[in-house]
Amino acid sequence: MQQSLFPSANPDPSASHEKFSRSDLNAAQLEAATTLGVPLLVIAGAGTGKTRTLVYRMAYLIEQGIPAANILLLTFTRKAAQEMIDRAGRLISDPRQRVTGGTFHAMANVLLRRHGHHLGYKPNFTILDRADAEGIINLLKSSLEMGATGKRFPSKRMVCNLFSRGVNKCQTLNEVIEDQYSHLAEYRDDLAKIQEHYHRFKFEHGLMDYDDLLVKFRQVLSEFPEVRREVAGRFQHVLVDEYQDTNPIQADIVRLVGGEHGNVMVVGDDSQSIYSFRGADFRNIMDFQTIFPGARLIRLEENYRSTQAILAVGNAIIDRAREKYEKRLFTSIAGGQRPQVYSAWDEATQARWVAERIAELLKQGVAREEIAVLFRSGFHSYKLELELNNRQIGFEKRGGLKLTESAHIKDVVSYLRVVSNPHDHLSWNRVLLLLDKVGPKTAQQVLATVRGAAEPLAALREYPAGKSWRGGLLKLLDLLETLGAGDRQPLAVFDAVMEYYQELFERIYHDDYPLRSRDLEQMRLLVGGYTDLQSLIDDTALDPPESTDESLGGRVGKPSGLILSTIHSAKGLEWDHVFVIHLAAGRFPSCQPFMREEWEEERRMLYVAATRARKMLYLTYPREVQTFDKQAAAGGISPFLAELPAHLLESWESRSGGGYPGSRLEKALPAGPAPAKVAEVPALGGKVRHPFFGEGKVEKLVGSRTVEVNFARHGRKTLHLDYARLEVLD
């Protein structure tokens, strides 16, 4: 097995050797970078040099004689870790000193392959991505004969969410159901049964989902002191980025490792907490000082990123947050142009306008990598993507569909997974279903043989296969046997798989296989970069490449072009020119939030988006948005945008003399802060309609502005009238 923790690119040898210099940091940053012997909690506002501080701290530790191998940097994405580590590498004299770093999941993966045997795992376990996990739920659902007829059983997606939520918030199944899924109460017993089988299934077949990686890693750390000591001994300094977005399990992992020596620094910003759906709670930041008594708190408040004009808008957004730790960002980059607001007629106009601004910027000589377009949800950029394609402006999309989520890639990866872990039932199932004349029933029967066998391949040789598909099965076994035998490079394995798969591929995807084969070619390029099959397989789940063309150049360092990204994927990044689109009611905030917590998180998301901009910020919204059934053209300006003081913003004026139905800001924005629309208080027992949950009946009035509503389709929800967009029916 590969020993380097997280295989990553070599530092760029051509990079200049910046000298580590204390004068590069302000007082607070310097304190954060150089304080030793005390746990540190760094509250760092957006753009206050948090990354720089982490980078300098790594370099400082190394200069103090601590081997880089003993330093661990935990970040939110692998990209972020690599970039920081590269930068630290440039500050020190010995380029071979390389800090290890990556995501919590990646670290857990590597260490569990080594220590998982304590919990009964073999080192060749397979990591399940979301679709895999849902697949298992589906398998179990049908094998347990649930949801057969009559009542509709909750979707696999729902079931997975429910399980995951329980894990990440440390709640029991019953608590989760009560809390969030009360409408599923009647399925409680079935869900409990599925959950039990799900856990057993994963364990018996050497499978781990994302949550397992964290949970099992925590377990091995807490139950086996010798493991804990070994891990803590190896990582004598732990640095954690984006701490506001860690969940209780991750915090526990930090506590267990860091508790051994206390050399822990965590960096975070409560105002940028946007991952509560994964169990994160920004209040956890303050628990740090309880977990590590005597921890020192350092605040970074000087913003080095944005102009005053942009920062003013950022501050105005977050000022309206109900609950936050006081902190006021200031910048010495005076002036700057006020952020521009463009109110578009509809989505197409919005797309055209943004594309035109981008074309203009490019013409003015702005580098493509200094421009980004951000949005709440992946699909918000569809129209813009079309528009950019029309104008032949290349872009890279972050977030949204991953390359590895497409069926044909999953097919290929399944062969690799079976080679690596012959007990991986899920992949076996997929691989068998690809055979002609083999469907779910037959596959299940074959799998029964795999289950008991110590050597599945040999056992299957003896399988009494039906005439129509015997040949196919034997060919498959030949392939797997050849691959399992030699110690081949991943690329050779991939090519062998492709030779076998090509025929099936063209049959199954007969209508569009030429298009799909482009993905396979791209995948082949990626495979070429690996020397170890297991890490290739791991990365398909832990570090999946984005689906659009760009992938090799963008893996390390700077993004290679114009970026379209979800706000979540834009975390920690910055650009000169940032467009935030779809700031329309019902889109951003998405129509889902119905309680304060969720509403506030949406607001923080806008804050994150706005503070990505260095020089110029553009905020746009379509006045009309199409819903999926191309019906209701709801929308209009997002309340977040509407409530901003108008004098901080500037409306866009059409230069071409009215080619667009451009609006004047004064018209679009109310003069003062807009009060939230005061919704009518419905009567007890009255009917209401929610944009997402549909119709429901008011069951209880809690306080003056909070009601409990029982929705026909979604069960009972507690709603706050100031946040939920409730319509009172009569």
Rule CB under 7 A: choose which of 64, 143, 337, 627 binds DNA.
Answer: 627
Please report how close the Cβ of residue 266 comes to DNA at its closest, in angstroms: 18
Please report how close the Cβ of residue 144 comes to DNA at its closest, in angstroms: 14
Is 2 a binding residue for DNA by CB under 7 A? The answer is no
* Closest to DNA by CB, 116 or 682: 116
Count the neighbouring beta carbons within 10 Å of the beta carbon of residue 33: 26
Please report how close the Cβ of residue 627 comes to DNA at its closest, in angstroms: 6
* Closest to DNA by CB, 33 or 127: 127
Is 210 a binding residue for DNA by CB under 7 A? The answer is yes
Contact 537, 4 (CB under 8 A): no
Is 67 a binding residue for DNA by CB under 7 A? The answer is no
Q: Report d(CA 342, CA 391) in Å as an integer.
A: 21
* Closest to DNA by CB, 434 or 527: 434
Rule CB under 7 A: choose which of 69, 146, 158, 291 binds DNA.
Answer: 158
299, burial (CB in 10 Å: exposed 0-12, middle 13-18, buried 19+): middle
Rule CB under 7 A: choose which of 95, 544, 645, 686 binds DNA.
Answer: 544
Alpha helix ranges (H) inside 373-406: 382-390
* Closest to DNA by CB, 99 or 608: 608
Token readout for 207 is: 């499978």
Pick the piece of the chain touching DNA (CB under 7 A) from 41-49, 185-193, 305-313, 435-443: 435-443
Pick the piece of the chain touching DNA (CB under 7 A) from 42-50, 52-60, 155-163, 319-327: 155-163
Please report how close the Cβ of residue 93 comes to DNA at its closest, in angstroms: 32
Rule CB under 7 A: choose which of 139, 542, 580, 609 binds DNA.
Answer: 542
Is 75 a binding residue for DNA by CB under 7 A? The answer is no
Q: Which of residues 294-333 bind DNA (CB under 7 A)?
A: none
User: Measuring CA to CA, which residue among 10, 212, 6 is closest to residue 97?
Assistant: 10
User: In a 3-state reduction of DSSP, which class is residue 137?
Assistant: helix
44, burial (CB in 10 Å: exposed 0-12, middle 13-18, buried 19+): buried
Phi, psi (deg, nearest 5) at residue 47: 70, 20
Rule CB under 7 A: choose which of 420, 548, 566, 611 binds DNA.
Answer: 566
> Could you please report the per-residue DSSP string of 677-721?
P-PPPPPTT-EEEETTTEEEEEEEEETTTEEEEEETTTEEEEEET
Rule CB under 7 A: choose which of 48, 271, 442, 611 binds DNA.
Answer: 442
587, burial (CB in 10 Å: exposed 0-12, middle 13-18, buried 19+): buried
* Closest to DNA by CB, 104 or 500: 104
Please report how close the Cβ of residue 628 comes to DNA at its closest, in angstroms: 3
Is 280 a binding residue for DNA by CB under 7 A? The answer is no
Is 713 a binding residue for DNA by CB under 7 A? The answer is yes
DSSP H or E segment with residue 725: none
Pairing of strands 650-651, 340-346: parallel
Rule CB under 7 A: choose which of 68, 84, 317, 443 binds DNA.
Answer: 443
State the Cα angle at 423 between 1 and 469, rounded to 5°.
125
Please report how close the Cβ of residue 87 comes to DNA at its closest, in angstroms: 20
Is 147 a binding residue for DNA by CB under 7 A? The answer is yes
User: How many residues line the site for DNA (CB under 7 A)?
Assistant: 45
Is 441 a binding residue for DNA by CB under 7 A? The answer is yes
Output the CA–CA distances (angstroms, integers) from residue 127 to 102, 272, 418, 542, 714, in the order listed.
Answer: 16, 29, 12, 8, 32
Pick the piece of the chain touching DNA (CB under 7 A) from 180-188, 196-204, 329-337, 621-629: 621-629
Q: Report d(CA 663, CA 147) in Å as an integer.
A: 52
Q: Which of residues 358-417 bind DNA (CB under 7 A)?
A: 376-379, 398-400
Is 202 a binding residue for DNA by CB under 7 A? The answer is no
Is 628 a binding residue for DNA by CB under 7 A? The answer is yes
Is 180 a binding residue for DNA by CB under 7 A? The answer is no
Sign of the CA dihedral with 577 first, then 578, 579, and 584 last: negative
Pick the piece of the chain touching DNA (CB under 7 A) from 100-108, 181-189, 524-532, 572-580: 100-108
Is 7 a binding residue for DNA by CB under 7 A? The answer is no
Please report how close the Cβ of residue 436 comes to DNA at its closest, in angstroms: 5
Q: Which residue matches tokens 């008991």?
A: 452
Is 155 a binding residue for DNA by CB under 7 A? The answer is yes
User: Measuring CA to CA, which residue among 260, 254, 198 is closest to residue 225?
Assistant: 260
67, burial (CB in 10 Å: exposed 0-12, middle 13-18, buried 19+): exposed
* Closest to DNA by CB, 575 or 652: 575
| Beta strand segments in 213-320, E | 237-240, 264-268, 296-300, 302-303
Long-range contacts of 4-8 (CB under 8 A, 24+ apart): 4/100, 5/100, 5/102, 5/107, 5/110, 6/78, 6/81, 6/100, 6/101, 6/102, 6/106, 6/107, 6/110, 7/530, 7/532, 7/535, 8/78, 8/82, 8/85, 8/556
The binding site for DNA (CB under 7 A) comprises 76-77, 103, 105-106, 129-130, 138, 147, 149, 155-158, 210, 274, 277-278, 376-379, 398-400, 436-443, 542, 544, 566, 568-569, 590, 592, 627-629, 692, 713
